Structure 1
Amino acid sequence: MKNVLLLIFLLIFIFSLPFPFFIKKPNSKSEVTTKDSLEFLDILIEEIENGISLLEAWSVARNGENFLEVSKQKISNLDFRTIVKITKLSANSGIALAPLLRSYRNELLAKKDLKRLIEIEAASAKATTTLLAVLPVLLLILAQSTGLDVINTLRHSIIAQISLAFSIALQLLGRFWAKRIINAIQ
């Protein structure tokens, strides 16, 4: 029983070290796509405001891509799909395209800033989670290296074993709770 608790304690803390890396992270590909969408929108808006037709402006902004072909395809990127829908709406109803695209560009910028702020807020929670995962192991190593016989005490003391079992339960609960908080923030 004594060695089993010690083994469980060590296993939990060893496997809790990489825990912060398994928390759901924002998709870095979507960040690049948003950046591409913003660059594309800037070029498209500028070309349309300069009086170039929609098809030519689209071709210039998308490096020769034809709007008519793109609008018929199934598009997986939500930002790009929305731009295509706005462009179709404008072409079909005669609404001025540049103000619509400029408004959508401002919305994309606001969404990008919000994602950045959320990542900043989540960074402190991730750092705390990392510290909580590493600190008990570091304290155990420090205590053992200073001459305190922590492992032997854990083996022979019932109070230490109860404390160890309680700390394991708290560590698991803390890990679960931190994961929920960080994922809720993101």
Structure 2
Amino acid sequence: MPRIDRFDILLIAGLLFTLAGLGLLMHHGRAQQGSERGTALERAMEERLAAQARLAFLTDLYQPVEDLRKEGKNQQALLALEEIARDYPGEAHGLILRGAILLELGLLERAVDSYVEAVRFNGEYVDDRSPLSRRTEIRQLVDEGLTRLRTRLEAQGDNPSLLETLKKVYYLQSRLAGGCE
């Protein structure tokens, strides 16, 4: 049997320290990975709860406007939206509702302006997976807008305001196709 000298003892001790260090690192990494999973799960739950709370809040806040729309009282609904907008300026859901009402009133250009402003504030309105999605409604607006605006442009020539509205319709079309700002 070979003799073990100091150098061999140092090598064996170094090897044992290295193995112990690796074991500690692996244990610490697993513990940290578990806590990261827990944190990610908590974050996902918080985001989902916040989204549900926001949806409930918006539904409750804008219910009087929706009721007026159902009754065909679009002018009163627009007034109610203006009152809400004083407390919540630039809130995208109000802009979407305003656009829908303006479209019902036959004011295509103003409706397009409102929808564009809403989508710029909050892209969830063109996202199929969002509970706030108004994708179908926006697609119908784009289809109607393209048809009507092109026809009017052919009849009137280069009308700057119609061209600007047409650009906004193209913007909505690109957002529906997955384009970003």
TM-score using structure 1 length: 0.32
Q: Larger relative contact order (C-alpha < 8 A, sep ≥ 6)?
A: 1
TM-score using structure 2 length: 0.33
